[in-house]
Amino acid sequence: MPPPQRGSRARRMDRGALAGRPGDTHRLSGGREGGPGHRRHQCPGCLQGAGARASAHRRVRHDQKRWMSFHEFAVAAGDLDESDVFMSVVPTPCGFGLWSSHFTPTMIGGPTVLMPRFSADEFQRRGKTVKILDDLIGSLTGDAPAREVRVGRFWTAVWSRHCGLASTTGPGEHKHGARFVEHAGSLAGRSALELVSLAHSNSSLEAGIGMAAINSMLEVDEGRCVERNAGDLLVERGRNKRVALIGHFPFVPALREAAEHLWVLELRPQAGDAGAEEAGAIVPEADVVAITGSAFINKSLEALLGLCRANAFIVVLGPTTPLSPVLFDYGADVVSGTRVVDPELALRSAGEGATFRQIRGIRLLTMERKSGAKHA
């Protein structure tokens, strides 16, 4: 069947239909918990973004919670408009089939939802990193009160069982009335695991607090770590190799001198850097790939790991990076992060606007994968 043209029946739909209302997933399943196509767990479906080619179907796994997350993400992407995406949700034996306006089962009676614009790549990127975050959070044991929370200009610190750091990645501008941290002013004293859940937030400030909380709760196996700067390791492993560095680090000049070729990819490129949008073309060409732990915050980490060649040497680095073997299950060979040894000094440094080189009371630790093949 040829893809129908946009317009006609789809355009006549009520623009408010199912857009941003509570209980959308319940309505999409026919209003019944056991309705057609309803699966509470592990529903495979087919997602195709309106910006993608009509033939480029993408397989994703989603359950009711993930569908709601997708819906909220789509609503946050922009205002409703008749030129935006028409999504159809069709009950199938294996779950919901999600289709873009390139091919909408509205023509055969499927319920149609008017959505704002969204990027299928963005949704996949965020959805994948949800999995690695879930595994990290699942590896934590127990709970502890959050004694202190500091959000400095460059670094965020949470002191619970231990003290953890993460990058502060705030919005580009502050609009009056905007709320970037929902419970700002009352985070200290809450459960550390409550703060850990903020790692899933679409607010970069909240996600940074969540990552710092994860690092504050990790029990690091220091017997597997060596005290080493990731820059020194990359200069050694990247010598005469093609190196892709995701994030601009102070050791770029030394690494550029050692490598056969160095690409630096940045969301906000400096002179000589490539834009982050070029990762799909660059990362698969690299022998050595180093990814900033800040990729946890913008939910791009697992997508970047997925771009790496099977035989690439992969490092995840920076204070945001959890010193956890969980990352080895996703293809990393080395994780390089920080361990706070003097929480009061580190909190004061972060809260007073210290850059990373100015932060005191920390150790730089590197953990390597145990010898053996990578996980598939």
Q: Dihedral (C-alpha) 63, 322, 307, 205: value to the nearest 10 degrees?
A: 70
- Residue 164's pLDDT is 98
**305's tokens:** 């790991």
Angle between helices 120-138 and 64-76 (to 10 degrees): 130
Backbone angles phi and psi of 193, in degrees to 5: -65, -30
Q: Name the domain count of the chain.
A: 3
Contact 68, 97 (CB under 8 A): no
Residue 265's DSSP bridge partners are: 246, 274
Burial 13-24 (b: 16+ CB within 10 A, else e): eeeeebbeeeeb
pLDDT given for residue 77 in this prediction: 52
SS3 16: coil
Q: Do 237 and 192 share a domain, yes or no?
A: no
Residues of the chain with pLDDT under 50: 1-68, 70-71, 75, 78-120, 122-125, 127, 375-376
The structure tokens listed for 368 are 């390597």
Do residues 203 and 75 share a domain?
no
Q: Which CATH number fits the domain that encloses residue 264? A: 3.40.50.11590
> Quick check: is 305 in a domain?
yes
> Do 227 and 334 lie in a common domain?
yes
Do both 231 and 363 map to the same domain?
yes
State pLDDT tens for residues 210-259.
Answer: 999 999 999 999 999 999 999 999 999 999 999 999 999 999 999 999 99
Whether 195 and 66 share a structural domain: no
pTM for the structure as a whole: 0.67
- Let me know if residue 376 belongs to a domain: no
123 within domain boundaries: no
Q: Which among 38, 121, 47 has a CA at the least distance from the CA of 77?
A: 121
Q: Are 336 and 217 in contact (CB under 8 A)?
A: no
Tokens 């996600």 label which residue? 207
**Which pLDDT belongs to residue 268?**
87
Query: Is residue 1 a part of any domain in this protein?
Result: no
Note whether 108 and 157 are same-domain residues: no
Distances (CA, A) of 362 to 94, 209, 337, 339, 342: 50, 18, 10, 6, 7
Residue with token string 């030129």: 83
Out of 103, 118, 133, pick the residue that ends a domain. 118
> Tokens 């000094």 map to which residue?
345
Which residues touch 60 (CB under 8 Å, ≥6 apart)? 44, 45, 46, 47, 123, 124, 127
Closest CA to 134 of 72, 197, 181, 73: 197
Question: Does residue 239 sit in the same domain as residue 292?
Answer: yes
Say if residues 85 and 101 touch (Cβ distance below 8 Å). Answer: yes
Q: Tell me the C-alpha to C-alpha distance, in Å, between residue 216 and each of 146, 203, 278, 321, 354.
A: 9, 20, 33, 12, 19
Q: Does residue 351 sit within a domain?
A: no
Distance in angstroms (rounded) separating the CA atoms of residues 139 and 320: 17
Q: Are residues 150 and 110 in the same domain?
A: no
Q: Which residues pair with 316 in a beta bridge?
A: 291, 335
Asked, for residue 249, whether it belongs to a domain, the answer is yes
Last residue of a domain, one of 197, 217, 237: 217
For 293-335, write each residue's pLDDT tens digit. Answer: 999 999 999 899 999 999 999 999 999 999 999 999 999 999 9
Q: Considering the domain boundaries, does residue 348 fall inside one?
A: no
Indicate whether 242 and 363 sit together in one domain.
Answer: yes
Token digits of residue 300: 């791009």
Cα atoms found within 13 Å of the Cα of residue 111, Cβ hemisphere only:
18
For residue 372, the SS3 value is coil
Quickly list H helices, the chain: 8-11, 24-28, 64-76, 120-138, 192-196, 204-217, 230-237, 252-258, 279-282, 301-307, 343-351
* CATH number of the domain within which 208 lies: 3.30.390.100
Q: Residue 15 and residue 21: Cα distance in Å, rounded? A: 12
User: In this structure, are 231 and 100 located in the same domain?
Assistant: no
* Same domain flag for 363 and 248: yes
Last residue of a domain, one of 118, 153, 178: 118
> What range does the domain containing 80 cover?
8-118
Please report whether residue 299 resides in a domain.
Answer: yes
Q: What is the pLDDT of residue 170?
A: 74
The C-alpha atoms of residue 184 and residue 327 are separated, in whole angstroms, by 30
Confidence (pLDDT) at 180 = 84
152 and 266 in one domain?
no
